[in-house]
Amino acid sequence: MNKLATELEDQATEIRDRQIVAAIIFVIAFPGVICNTLVAMFTRRLPTLNNSFGRLTASQATGEIVLCASFAFHYVPMVAL
């Protein structure tokens, strides 16, 4: 019976650890989506960034939006469940 209790405790600890990891990843990835969206939007609106550097910055921010969104909305549920 002691072995069963230990196994149940280990499973509960593993589930809790997965939920903590998922929460940390989401807390990092979701603001990344928001901030990179703002960067991509404002890069195109600012007249000082209407050059090749501005286009590269907007392109990089767009790629980061996709990456952060995939982590926030695809990877986090897989880790949490």
pLDDT tens per residue, range 10-69: 888 899 999 999 999 999 999 999 999 999 999 989 998 889 999 999 999 999 999 999
CB-based contact 38:70 (threshold 8 Å): no
Q: How confident is the model at residue 77 (pLDDT cuts 50, 70, 90)?
A: very high
Torsion sign, CA atoms 20, 26, 28, 31: negative
CB-based contact 33:65 (threshold 8 Å): yes
Q: How confident is the model at residue 7 (pLDDT cuts 50, 70, 90)?
A: confident
Supply the pTM of this predicted model.
0.80
CB-based contact 54:44 (threshold 8 Å): yes
CB-based contact 50:72 (threshold 8 Å): no
Residue 1: per-residue pLDDT: 60
